[in-house]
Structure 1
Amino acid sequence: MSAFLEWFEKIAVAFADAAWGLPLLALLLGGGIFFLIFSRFVPYRHFGHGLEILTGKYEDPTAPGDINHFQALSSALAATVGMGNIGGVAIAIVMGGPGALFWMWISAIVGMATKFFTCTLAVMYRGKDTSGKVQGGPMYFITEGLGKKWKPLAVFFAIAGLIGCAPMFQSNQLTQIVRDEIMIPAGMVAEQATFWGDFTLGLIIVGVVSLVIFGGIKRIGQVAASLVPLMVFIYVVSVLYIILSNITEVPYYLTLIVTDAFTGEAVAGGAVGTVIITGIRRAAFSNEAGIGLEAMAHGAARTREPVREGLVAMLEPLIDTIIVCSMTALAILMTGVWLTTDADGVTLTAQAFSEGIPYIGVYVLILCVIIFSITTMFTYSYYGTKCLGFLLGAERQHYYNYFYIFSILLGSVASITAVISLIDGMFAMMAIPTMTASILLSPKVYRAAKDYFQRMRDEELAGYDDDDDDDDDV
């Protein structure tokens, strides 16, 4: 088994390094900048309106779709606000240094525009699966928006999504923190023989996840809507405690993040390119802007106004990367564990919590990791079934869940390097069709946004006129 896992790691690393070259960086970051400029900053200027939509002010129970705006955002955040914010940020700092966070910020800012375009398209060009049910996502807006001749691009996305949606990173990090912080210290598993301990934990995770994923998007949306706010609250309060305890050091580390982004001296040895690539890769894994997975969750939103869902979706990079990832990075940097240990991933974050919140910090993080990783696994199963449904038909899409639970076991026993490399590579493959189609269809999104905001202004003016008439009658 060890020989297979070593071979698996070598193949995964080579694949990811080849996929994340300059062309993909130009497509993701350059495409996001294009959306930002082409939209004339329209989605940014209506940020407040997006918050109003999220509160249910414009809810239409008769509109097509399975879940409301808040559930769609929660389902997407259940996938994005997760282990990428805890273990992924730690990996970014270990591989690229503090400066990697700066490039995560840049990716998130332009990613907000990318999310607006991709998730607007997910509703604008919803298609029907073989059972006649309305579906959304890149494979549907490619075929419905660009035409059937572009179907090979949609098929390419769906094939990459089958593996890209696998929850191996989540199960890997969950087993890692339970093994390192509970099982080994308690003598339950020997440090030199962890395979069967990890495998057992993987089986437990399979049992928990199976209870939810076979219920479909409605159950996923309900569970995510209740757990996501709780997990974000617990995690944010904990990290804020660490930051506030070291508040005088915040200016120093913020300066370090910015300067190291252009020097790469802290960890990368002056290789600025490594810092940039690391930051963009981790941002893509964190908020999925341009990858296309989140568009499937937003494509299920109950609305007749595609632009509204685009405005809701663009909140994700702000919450996920700019707020949550930054807080994790500051906790790791301020406690100094990134300089004093060889730990990686979630174990490094656990050491930061143990240092910053003595006695209970590591247990608080374990609770957060359990909630983060499990809810992420709920949502990713939905994405994967939709990819298989597009390829083989809706009547066969449930078979994906069996591969899904197998991948949980594989992720539990494989190395973190193998797992993160495989998922990174598949995310890169999904970004190619998603960004290509979104750029080609961007004029239609811009026209839809222009029409939507004009109608909103007309309705507001009509409301003012009605008020004036009432005053005159009085």
Structure 2
Amino acid sequence: MDALGEALQSLAGFLWGPPLIVLVVGGGLFFLIYSRMGPYRYFGHAIAILRGKYDDVDDPGDISHLQALSAALSGTLGLGNIAGVAVAIGTGGPGAVFWMWVTAVVGVATKFFTCSLSIMYRGRDSRGQLQGGPMYIIREGLGSRWHWLAVFFCVVGLFGTLPIVQVNQLTETLREVVFIPAELVDPDDHFLFDLIFGITVAAIVASVIFGGIKRVGYVAARLVPAMVAVYLLLTAVVLAAHLPELPGHLAFIVTDAFTAQSIGGGVLGMITIGVMRGAFSNEAGIGTEVMAHGAAKTREPVREGLVAMMGPVIDTLIVCTCTALVILVTGVWQEEGLGGASMTAQAFGEVLPYGLGAYIIAFVVLIFASSTMFTFWYYGAKCLGFLIGAERQHYYKYFYTLLVVLGAVVSLEAVFGLIDSMYALMAIPTMTATLLLAPRVMEAARDYFARLREEEKEG
């Protein structure tokens, strides 16, 4: 591990200590209990909202419920599901997956609360346009004395929303799976390839992000469902070939979560890794997804909260679990020298014939990484706009595009260390504001669900 990567990994480990784990996981558990699991009973209604049953073109906002969820998922469904799961298992053992599940289960409640607030406390930027996000929740919901907390979120958000993990893993995967086997790149000297590839990706990303959030929502609404379907189909083929082994691996994930027998770092170290990777995967309580859902066209905050709560289920409980099982049944997690997306690619490559698995995963990584890179600029731009004025937030697009190139040439440890550290710092203002404003969400939820029950009786 290089010196920069080691330093950033140490910082992430320090920030994701017991206090922050209690804030993120314990906070989610509080929301679950406080709501009496009410939102969990309305998944069917959430699907109806996504299908457009309650859409109204005259509602305030920029994008539909489906586009908002797709934009949020395009940020979460990505390398967290491929590289993140592999890193979790490689460094924390299979038991880390269990703690990823925990973040998802409580994350359902967290997203319901945070994303309901994203609509409830939308605010006007310096150009008078309606915006959502943790900084506006803090400003509009908590008042001026908490403004410093909103500023803190935006400062760390400028770095937490960088696309460096995505482009880093995309570069590594295509290099290792396609270009090195074809003898087009020297495996010991690939800096020039990484640089040229990073510049190419940056040009593609720029062509999308300069179109604004409406173009992102349009692209994401088409890419996300397709990429999830392809990936789940691929994992189904692999897991079907190992069907009798699945119960044993699932049981091992659970037992290893409380014994840490697969690693030497102990249970606390495993929990830390699992929660970090779970947060990277579904972003519940981090605040980035709150900005995407805050752009939804609706006058009902609870509706967007119900839509948003589907994210951790799709992202972590389904897609991440599929990835974890593929890695476990193939045994690649025990091989030396594999990490990140290359581990997942190796797992599929060992099962599917003619080496097709690795190439298909390379394609999936391309789509997953691209969709995330198309989305994250929006979050950083909103943070910059809050800090220096919305009329100048477009400058972030240039900074973002430049960092696509940088992310392609730095180490995996460095990019994960930086993003993990920033996610930890972003969670502090997001979860603090949500805990303080939770009673207002419950008041709105009781009113909405009562009206919904009356409509169902009349219908």
TM-score w.r.t. length of structure 2: 0.98
- 1:71 paired residue number: 67
**How much does 1:185 deviate?**
1.4
SS at match of 1:109: helix
Counterpart Cα distance in 2 of 1:6 and 1:462: 65
Counterpart Cα distance in 2 of 1:340 and 1:96: 14
Counterpart Cα distance in 1 of 2:456 and 2:190: 63
Q: Does 1:250 align with 2:246?
A: yes
* Percent identity between the two aligned chains: 56
- 1:472 paired residue number: none
**How much does 1:198 deviate?**
0.7
Counterpart Cα distance in 2 of 1:106 and 1:409: 35
**How much does 1:341 deviate?**
3.3
Q: Does 1:165 align with 2:161?
A: yes
Counterpart Cα distance in 1 of 2:147 and 2:140: 9
**How much does 1:9 deviate?**
2.1
1:275 counterpart (258, 270, 273): 270
Computing the radius of gyration over CA atoms, which structure comes out larger, 1 or 2?
1
**How much does 1:6 deviate?**
3.9
- 1:294 paired residue number: 289
Counterpart Cα distance in 2 of 1:152 and 1:301: 26
Counterpart Cα distance in 2 of 1:247 and 1:48: 30
2:200 counterpart (189, 192, 204): 204
- 2:21 paired residue number: 25
The range that moved more, 355-364 or 129-138, is 355-364
Q: List gaps (5 residues or longer) in structure 2.
A: none
- 1:457 paired residue number: 453
Q: Does 1:80 align with 2:92?
A: no
Q: Does 1:377 align with 2:373?
A: yes
- 2:410 paired residue number: 414
Alignment of 1:10-409 (within 5 A): 10-266=6-262, 268-269=263-264, 271-359=266-354, 360-409=356-405
Q: Does 1:433 align with 2:434?
A: no
Contact 1:137/1:292, CA 8 A, preserved across alignment: yes
**Equivalent residue letter for 1:167:** P
Contact 1:331/1:356, CA 8 A, preserved across alignment: no
**How much does 1:458 deviate?**
2.1
**Equivalent residue letter for 2:296:** A
SS at match of 1:132: coil
**How much does 1:13 deviate?**
1.9
**How much does 1:357 deviate?**
1.0
Cα deviation, 1:129-153, whole Å, max 9, x if unaligned, reads 1010000000000100000111100
Cα deviation, 1:429-470, whole Å, max 9, x if unaligned, reads 00000000000000000000001111112223333xxxxxxx
Cα deviation, 1:298-320, whole Å, max 9, x if unaligned, reads 00000000000000000000000
Corresponding pairs, count: 458
**Equivalent residue letter for 1:325:** C
**How much does 1:334 deviate?**
0.4
Q: List gaps (5 residues or longer) in structure 1.
A: 464-474
**Equivalent residue letter for 1:142:** I
TM-score w.r.t. length of structure 1: 0.95
**How much does 1:7 deviate?**
4.3
The range that moved more, 209-218 or 12-21, is 12-21
Contact 1:263/1:270, CA 8 A, preserved across alignment: no
Counterpart Cα distance in 1 of 2:189 and 2:402: 22
Cα deviation, 1:224-249, whole Å, max 9, x if unaligned, reads 00111111111110011000011010
Counterpart Cα distance in 2 of 1:25 and 1:340: 30
Counterpart Cα distance in 2 of 1:183 and 1:352: 19
**How much does 1:24 deviate?**
0.4
**How much does 1:189 deviate?**
1.4
Cα deviation, 1:192-242, whole Å, max 9, x if unaligned, reads 111111111101110110110011100000000011111111111001100
**How much does 1:407 deviate?**
1.3
Counterpart Cα distance in 2 of 1:204 and 1:230: 24
- 1:466 paired residue number: none
